[in-house]
Chain A
């Protein structure tokens, strides 16, 4: 990658960013002095109420994958990014607002989503879902995003920026745990929402609104650009649009959501938090989509030079936001990455410290030992994230892989395990989790090695006769098989694991 500076920052912008960094690190340090063990570190004492939960729910799930992924799709495809890709997520946040209190009521002492698999189906299912959660919580996208952001603003090489980002986020998460994450997530949520809203309103107005943006888009594509404002247009096939929509089901098996559900002070608090978060998620998605469209139009109008989609977003912001506010915007983008990365490092640490170490290796481990192993898990996750950041090339590619793994492995066993009236059979959850995990990983390896990379579509495609199988289709093929296997083995199996409250 080249080392050109796309966004030039004023000294005032750097002061704003420096203040942000100091505040975040101080809060991490403050909480590191007050943690008394795993429950404090990982569950914030199970005492989070709605106002504290809103910011952490919204900012955790919306990171640079949304910012760059959605805006990249919008840059080429227009509003499909919002209507086909983002709206299904909103629908599922609404579903979670209703379901999350049930999880809290049914598992009041629960800690992680995979604990449901351990309790309902035993160790094998628990370990399989833990591996899926760990893979899902790997922060590759955020690490790539921070490296990209630092390169844009300072000109430093991508790998140096990625390394700096990883060290900063890991240090903060290591020190503060969920308390620090929750307290800072609200500040980060505030900065990222306000600055993205400002960039949208100021930029859209300054560019002359819809009429002039259409002129810019027509110049950009060199033909009629009406499709930018039609749903389902462009190169995205109906199947690919369906795949992107189906990835929204990851919301239902989102390990960071489950951590917050179980860390909440009660079922009502988590329901209120999800409900308050829905309009925020929706507004963020809209803003990112239209900033992507504005990036393409700005190139067409020769307002900014010809740059790649993600750079266009920043070039537009750099063009219209005044000094200080631009610094806040960059801090907002960094916030989006930071709030997501710290939460997932923590979740991945919990998989190692709580699910694997305390759940399987040493069930008698005390609070301090579990906390120590969780912190080691944070380090392992950071190292893996960093390594993968140099392996994957596209942010959306990483997301579809992670969504495939978590959906195929966890959703069906976890939801049947929670909502079935009769206790489910142990073998059903075991087969479903193990098959879901292995099949999704093999699918990705198979399509990578035996598929042909299509430069235009930027996907791996395996051809079997006349049928073209895209790498992204794995989620649509494996999930129904997992469901069928679960239902068959639940019918045939005998052994169950009883829980308090079972009929």
Chain B
């Protein structure tokens, strides 16, 4: 990685946000998705 100019730094920072940002949300998402799937399956069984 290069850190020589402001543009190098910008690319590293925004590249890092693009890669890491969504990964930080994965746990939050799976917890919510799991709960929704459980509710939907329960509803389906009851119907």
Contacts and interface: CB of A to CB of B under 8 A. Distances in A.
Bind each other: yes
Contact of B32 (A51, A179, A194): A51
Nearest to A183: B33
Contacts of A50: 28, 32
B21 A283 contact: yes
| Secondary structure dominating the interface of A | helix
B44 A197 contact: no
Contact of A34 (B25, B26, B44): B44
Which of A49, A51, A276, A286 has the largest number of chain B CB atoms within 10 A?
A51
A204 B22 contact: no
Interface in B1-43: 1-2, 4-5, 7-8, 10-12, 14-23, 25-26, 28-29, 31-33, 36, 40, 43
Contacts of B29: 51-52, 54-55, 186
Contact of B18 (A36, A52, A179, A284): A284
Interface stretch (A205-213, A234-242, A473-481): A205-213
B5 A210 contact: yes
Contacts of B20: 197
B8 A204 contact: yes
A230 to B, nearest CB: 12
Interface residues of A, number: 37
Given A200-B14, A200-B15, A287-B15, A209 B44 contact: no
B21 to A, nearest CB: 5
Contact of B4 (A190, A198, A210): A210
A67 to B, nearest CB: 13
Contacts of A179: 36, 40
B36 to A, nearest CB: 7
A97 B11 CA distance: 26
A280 B40 contact: no
B28 A200 contact: no
A200 B18 contact: yes
A189 interface: yes
A193 B21 contact: yes
Contact of B1 (A36, A52, A201): A201
A286 B4 contact: no
Interface string A265-294: 000000000001001101110110010000
A152 interface: no
Interface residues of B, number: 31
A287 B11 CA distance: 7
B25 A282 contact: no
Contact of B15 (A54, A183, A204): A204
A47 interface: yes
A193 B19 CA distance: 6
B14 A282 contact: yes
A204 B11 contact: yes
A52 B36 contact: yes
A193 B4 contact: no
Contact of A287 (B5, B14, B23): B14
A49 B33 CA distance: 10
A299 interface: no
A196 interface: yes
A227 B23 CA distance: 35
B28 A51 contact: yes
A194 B44 CA distance: 35
Nearest to B40: A34
A194 B23 contact: yes
A209 B17 contact: no
B19 A194 contact: yes
B29 to A, nearest CB: 4
A229 interface: yes
Nearest to A207: B2
Interface string A167-204: 00000000000010001001001100110111011001
Given A52-B33, A52-B36, A186-B29, A283 B18 contact: yes
B25 A54 contact: yes
Contact of B21 (A52, A201, A279): A279
Nearest to B24: A276
A280 B21 contact: yes
Contacts of B10: 286, 290
Most buried by B among A200, A282, A284: A200
**9 interchain residue pairs of minimum CB distance:** A197-B18, A197-B19, A209-B2, A201-B15, A286-B14, A283-B17, A283-B18, A51-B28, A51-B32
10 contacts: A36-B47, A51-B25, A52-B32, A183-B36, A194-B23, A196-B18, A200-B11, A204-B2, A204-B11, A290-B14
Interface of B: 1-2, 4-5, 7-8, 10-12, 14-23, 25-26, 28-29, 31-33, 36, 40, 43-44, 47
Given A179-B40, A286-B11, 4 more contacts: A193-B21, A197-B16, A286-B14, A290-B14
Interface of A: 34, 36, 47, 49-52, 54-55, 179, 183, 186, 189-190, 193-194, 196-198, 200-201, 204-205, 208-211, 229, 276, 279-280, 282-284, 286-287, 290
